[in-house]
A and B are shown apart, each in its own frame.
Chain A
Amino acid sequence: MKGLKKHFAMTKPFLNRLLDKEEPQSVKAVDGLDLDIPRGQTLSLVGESGCGKSTVARLIMGLSTPSGGSILFDGTDISRAPAGNPAAVRQRMQMIFQDPYASLNPRWRVRDIIAEPLRTYGLSGSREEERREVDRLLEFVGLNAKDGDKFPHEFSGGQRQRISIARAISTKPEFLVCDEPTSALDVSVQAQILNLMREMQRELGLTYLFISHDLAVVNFMSDWIGVMYLGRLVEVAPAAELFSNPQHPYTRLLLDTIPDLGMSKRDRTPAAGEVPNPISPPPGCHFNPRCALANDRCRSEAPALRAYPNGGRVSCHAVEEARGAVVIPAGVGHSMQTAP
């Protein structure tokens, strides 16, 4: 595997446009995304709700079909293949879902939940072999082999997420899509799950696409970070670079709004405005109504991702023109550094 490549654009038609006799509308949930995930590393996608992070996950796993573009996994184009097909490729990729309460079938025993992917792909030999494998998986994720005979409701949120992880790694995948795997969990449980995921990556050489809105979690997990805004990628950079030297005004805004444990009672700069309606995003750069650096070009022309010497890619006219040196007007109240 030389690396995963995905490039897709999609528009989602609205179901009831026939009934309403309106012009066909579309939500560009994911609007032309270019991303590579190097083998054995973690790329995280961050952004506010509705920016298209989870849609990317669903597209990759084949849970919805892209309207354009392609998804390449180890050289095989899987963008048109439904979930589970082709089996030889799909069993090498699995997903961990956000909600450990909704993603496990309450009527199934844990043993059957974890064995399901094995059965689907015909990987389990005899019942005895399957049993041994499930026991091994349960112990690997820090549960007891005896837990296999219980039902999901007998477990806490953190334990359920361990079950989800055991299920996801049962086919010995190389690539895991993790959609907000810890957002439903308390910090102490979150630490356990994140540690487990990092250990798994070290031991099994896994590649992760990690989706989260928590930047501190993302900092702990990632080699690369992609920032999404309204279906588009605004910045991709090596994780350390993104935190130490964010380029895109939206990335800076996100970093600015992180609650700071060290600086007690600081007045955070509240980000002005909310994410616009994705059905009618503003023309040009989608971020322009909230951006302090926006000018006429930003309001008419959509910026493309450009590569910069620090290894990152940024889509911003202001960064390209080094307009970032401008002191932001009062009310936003801080200055930004010059872009390289």
Chain B
Amino acid sequence: MRQRVVIALALCAEPRLIIADEPTTALDVSVQAQIIALLKRVCRERNAAVILVTHDMGVIAETADRVAVMYAGRLAEIGPVAQVLQKPSHPYTAGLMGSIPRIGPRPDRLIQIEGSMPRLTDIPSGCAFNPRCPKVFANCHHIRPELRQIADGAAACLLYEGVTQ
């Protein structure tokens, strides 16, 4: 109910862009579904754009058209929701997707990304993800990758630079 009030507040000036920062994180799944449905309906009806900030992949899958994955202050990958979630290009996105528990047969282990986020005052040189990356190679330690077009999206990863050794 409180989140509905907040949505009403956000809408009262007829905005063209709504920034929703973790709008459903504190909510139960059943209420979360209501809020997401409300947000989607409102955007359709008023033709507003939404930046949805969340770490809940399920909400992204149902709500977003495009997803941008951030790591240590930079974009790691961006693209249409189906491409990023189902065929992730960046090893970080792939790790994130793998670490989500799913409904279905019960595995013995979840895929996990080893280590933890670097402190933002101490970001590794080269690709910030290199200490945790399963596909790391020499160049990753000194070249900072830029976003490169992949299908309908883009990823910042040296695997796609053609400089693999």
Contact = CB atoms under 8 A, between A and B. Distances in A.
Interface stretch (B112-120, B133-141, B157-165): B112-120
Interface string B40-57: 100000000000000111
B150 interface: no
A258 B103 contact: yes
A200 to B, nearest CB: 13
Given A192-B112, A194-B110, A257 B29 contact: yes
A220 B106 contact: yes
B21 interface: no
Nearest to A48: B28
Nearest to B92: A188
Contacts of A49: 28
Interface size of A as a range: 35 or more
B33 A274 contact: no
A266 B106 contact: no
A40 to B, nearest CB: 16
A243 B82 CA distance: 25
A173 to B, nearest CB: 23
A257 B55 contact: no
A156 interface: yes
B99 interface: yes
Contacts of A186: 55
A61 B58 CA distance: 34
A239 B112 contact: no
A260 B62 contact: yes
Given A215-B103, A216-B100, A255-B103, 10 more contacts: A48-B30, A158-B116, A217-B101, A220-B110, A254-B29, A257-B33, A259-B32, A261-B61, A268-B37, A271-B34
Interface of A: 48-49, 156, 158-159, 186-192, 194-195, 198, 213-217, 219-220, 239-240, 243, 253-255, 257-271, 274
Residue from B59, B62, B104 whose CB has the most chain A CB atoms within 10 Å? B62
Residue from A156, A159, A190, A240 whose CB has the most chain B CB atoms within 10 Å? A190
11 contacts: A49-B28, A187-B55, A191-B101, A195-B109, A195-B110, A213-B29, A220-B101, A243-B104, A254-B29, A257-B33, A269-B33
A269 B36 CA distance: 11
Interface string B65-107: 0000000000000000110010000000001111111111011
B107 A268 contact: no
B95 A188 contact: yes
A261 B57 contact: yes
A261 B100 contact: yes
A264 B62 contact: yes
A259 B102 contact: no
Contact of B96 (A187, A239, A270): A187
